[in-house]
Amino acid sequence: MSKPSKKYISIQKTIRSYDYEYYILDDPSISDHEYDELFRELKQIESEHPDWITPESPSQRVGIKPENDFDTFKHFQPMLSLANAFNEDDLNNFHDRILKNLGADKQIDYFCEPKMDGAAVSLIYEEGILVRGVTRGDGNLGEDITSNIRTIRSIPLILKESKSPFPTMIEVRGEVFISKPDFETLNLSAEKNGEKIFANPRNAAAGSLRQLDPAITSSRPLAFFAHGIGLCQGKKFIDLQEIFSVFVSWGLPVNNLNKLSSSIDECLNYFKDVESSRDSIPFEIDGVVFKVNELSLQKQLGEIARSPRWAIAHKFPAEEVHTEIEKIEFQVGRTGILTPVAKLKTVNVGGVNVSNCTLHNLDELRRLDPRVGDGAVIKRAGDVIPKMVKVIPKKNNRADAVEPPKKCPSCQSAIAHNYQSEWTIFDTSKSMPVKKFSSSYEAQKFVESNHSENLSVLEEHLDTPFIKCTGKNSCPEIFQGKFTHFVSRKAMDIDGLGQEILFTLINKKFIKDFADIYSLSEHRAELEKLERFGEKSVDNLIKSIDKSSSVELYKLVFSLGIEEVGETTARNLANIFGSIEAIQKSSFEDLIAVPDIGPRVAAKIVDHFADTENIVSLKALLPYLNIANPDISASEKDMKFLGLQIAITGKISPMSREEVKNLLMSEGAKVTSSISKKTNFLIAGENAGSKLEKAKSLGVRIIEAADIKSFINDPKKFL
């Protein structure tokens, strides 16, 4: 292989700097014609010396089409999402929480940015060279879309050298988007060519990034703004302001509306300024983002429920649109709850076509009193589901009020009110209520630990505004809903089992239980005989089922559809217990020690795993699965409390017990409510009682209230 000529290297460099002028500075110094001429010269040299071409050459943006699907890629540091503020109060609360968490009334600088309405991506640069581009995915696992990312002209394939040396490796986080004028042009040409029109620039950007053919992505007018970092090795930053100015020096595009504020009031002014100029900003934004500028403070604040405590999205008020109510239905969910839903004359609200609007429950139905033929005002903010704000009653011949059904609209089973139970302990000697509990377990425990013959337990049903189908698995909606949830992206993620195929397989009795999905390959011949199930489609189906059998524990837990167990709770369960068997065996007490799990949810989990049908179903399913117990990832290695078991007792301040617990958990600690030999530390607040005594007797290290902050900062000092 010959050495690339100086001329070739210099043309590459010149093109790169013209690209920078054009795509980043928006200020080209040469004409398009001169640029094209130079590019032609580059291609000419490359055709004579193909061995000189490296992936970083400006000619190499559009690569070849990958074979079938994108590979998954695990982010080195998770891509979190942002909590929202909708008004001034929310914003002030955010600031107050930060001050409280940091334990001091200090001045905080916030970095302010527009909230881009695009698709989040992570770009990995090694020694300044772009090596990978990944979608956000579920925040942990994204899709490797490197070949599509490389087609975006404003994303440098090589960073510009500057005074600031390149890190060995950095995850640059940012937003891929399409500007308003480019979006219009794109849709105009789609319309002309009889192609699908995009509902909004965000969908167009996200859809373009997931094209298998990079040539298609390349034809879409995608742009990029960097808005943060993930893992960064071989370089230390002090604050966001520094990160953004280093980004600029490396030729990475950043939003020029970004600004540093030195108070929360200044943030509010920033919000108002950006809001008033929203229409003249050439890209869609749905609010602004405020981030604590200093990285050390960010680290101290940590995260909660997949959102950093140090950042918030202040959203613009939602757009409101008027439409008409065509019908009101009751839809049966996978738990059997019947939800009233209004069917609307389709309207576009904030870039999305809306034709359904949930009315949530009977209280909301009575409050709004929507009737067929009435007008309705609908609002929708960003990714939030549409909400009915107001009903405008029809003037004449108004329809009757909607009554809840007496029978399930799907299976005709009886409808029951969904009660919530409450358990009251009575002292029979005094005929007095002593204590109330929201779970029978706690009530029972209280009685047992009090050794009194005078205590009795009374279960009371509290009404809720929900009604429920009593048909259980015999109700097709409940049954199908359970499987739709099981195969969905955030659960077992079985791509090939779309609703139509899934329901066909259920109706034809191929799928009667979760395990049946994984033994479908044994029924190949029968499947191929079904209408629209050729050899190829059965192949693809079985492949995607196979792929899903390697599953992360939290996804499996989520997919079981345990009532009240959402994604975050499933993650917490997986992190704390580490295996499905341990979760199955967990007691009520073990469960309430998990963050975000209160007595009601704990009881639901215990009930789920005590149910014979569920036991049998899970037992049959497990042999088919290869459950990943995720090894300690790069970010977890840095967790300060990983492997430590910590108990908390007594009253603590200024942080609440819940806050301390969450902070410890987010850094890898296992926080328990009881003390055993395995406990490493007890955090003992005011009036710590028997637990403190027990800890002392077991030789557990005690952290006093005054030391909590320094313990959280550096637990090693206390080891």
Closest to ligand IVH by CB, 149 vs 492, is 149
Tell me how far apart the alpha carbons of residues 658 and 417 are, in angstroms, rounded to a whole number: 33
Closest to ligand IVH by CB, 289 vs 647, is 289
Closest approach of Cβ 122 to ligand IVH, in Å? 10
Residue closest to 422 by CA, chosen among 414, 409, 433: 433
8-16, Cβ contacts within 8 angstroms, sequence gap of 24 or more: 8/42, 8/45, 8/46, 8/49, 8/52, 11/38, 11/41, 11/42, 11/45, 12/42, 12/57, 12/58, 14/38, 15/39, 15/42, 15/58, 16/58, 16/156, 16/158, 16/160
Closest to ligand IVH by CB, 81 vs 617, is 81
Percent of the chain as helix, strand, coil, to the nearest 5? 40, 25, 35
Closest approach of Cβ 96 to ligand IVH, in Å? 20
Token pair of 11 as six digits: 């043309």
Tell me how far apart the alpha carbons of residues 225 and 257 are, in angstroms, rounded to a whole number: 11
Number of H helices, E strands in the chain: 27, 29
Closest to ligand IVH by CB, 112 vs 625, is 112
Residue closest to 305 by CA, chosen among 555, 594, 102: 594
Tell me how far apart the alpha carbons of residues 481 and 149 are, in angstroms, rounded to a whole number: 36
Token pair of 385 as six digits: 């589901």
490 annotated active-site: no
Tell me how far apart the alpha carbons of residues 90 and 64 are, in angstroms, rounded to a whole number: 48
Torsion sign, CA atoms 586, 589, 590, 595? positive
Closest approach of Cβ 515 to ligand IVH, in Å? 36
Cross-strand bridge partners of residue 651: 686
Give residue 631's identity as a one-letter amino acid code.
D
Closest approach of Cβ 505 to ligand IVH, in Å? 35
Residue closest to 288 by CA, chosen among 467, 584, 493, 84: 84
Closest to ligand IVH by CB, 19 vs 113, is 113
**Annotated catalytic residue within 6, 115, 407, 508:** 115
Tell me how far apart the alpha carbons of residues 465 and 418 are, in angstroms, rounded to a whole number: 8
Closest to ligand IVH by CB, 289 vs 354, is 289
Closest to ligand IVH by CB, 223 vs 562, is 223
Phi/psi for 66 (5° steps) reads -70, 160
Closest approach of Cβ 289 to ligand IVH, in Å? 4
Closest approach of Cβ 311 to ligand IVH, in Å? 5
Query: What secondary structure letter does DSSP report for 239?
Result: B
Residue closest to 295 by CA, chosen among 371, 244, 343: 244
Closest approach of Cβ 81 to ligand IVH, in Å? 4
Angle, helix 180-192 to helix 201-209, in steps of 10 degrees? 70
Radius of gyration of the chain (CA): 29
Closest approach of Cβ 644 to ligand IVH, in Å? 26
3 state DSSP class of 122: strand
Token pair of 690 as six digits: 């028997």
Whose CB is nearest to ligand IVH?
120
Closest to ligand IVH by CB, 38 vs 83, is 83
3 state DSSP class of 471: coil
Question: Are 652 and 705 in contact, with CB atoms under 8 Å apart?
Answer: yes
Closest approach of Cβ 228 to ligand IVH, in Å? 5
Closest to ligand IVH by CB, 206 vs 349, is 206
Residues near ligand IVH (CB under 6 A) are 80-82, 113, 115-116, 120, 136, 175, 227-228, 289, 308, 311, 313
Q: Which residues are catalytic?
A: 115
